[in-house]
Amino acid sequence: MKVRHQEVPESVWKDKRIPYEGKIIYGYIFAKGIDRLLINLNVGELQQVNRITNQGLKNNLDILEKLKYLLYKEYDRGMYTITLLDK
């Protein structure tokens, strides 16, 4: 039996409507929540990987939500609950 590794869907990388920064953010969220339904994300946690502001993160999450890759809710300033959608 072969062990298969989960990878970010190819459709995300080929989608030209998503900016490169948004693809990196989606990859981070996907890796963090690979076996969960809900993911808690803090903007400070993401800033260690990528230079981004809270507004920039929110803009990228809006784009990803509009394209139906995920759903998010900001429950406190800079803190998000994210649900990945099957695509």
| DSSP classification of residue 83 | E
Closest-CA residue to 63 (of 33, 32, 28, 20): 20
Q: Does domain 13-84 have CATH number 2.60.40?
A: no
pLDDT higher at 86 or 27: 27
pLDDT at 62 over 90: yes
Is 33:39 a contact under the CB 8 Å cutoff?
yes
Percent residues over pLDDT 70 in the chain: 92
Rg (CA), the chain: 13
For 1-11, write each residue's pLDDT tens digit. Answer: 444 456 777 88
Residue 34 has pLDDT above 80, yes or no: no
Question: What is the rounded distance in angstroms from the CA atom of residue 51 to the CA atom of residue 21?
Answer: 10
The domain limits of the chain are 13-84
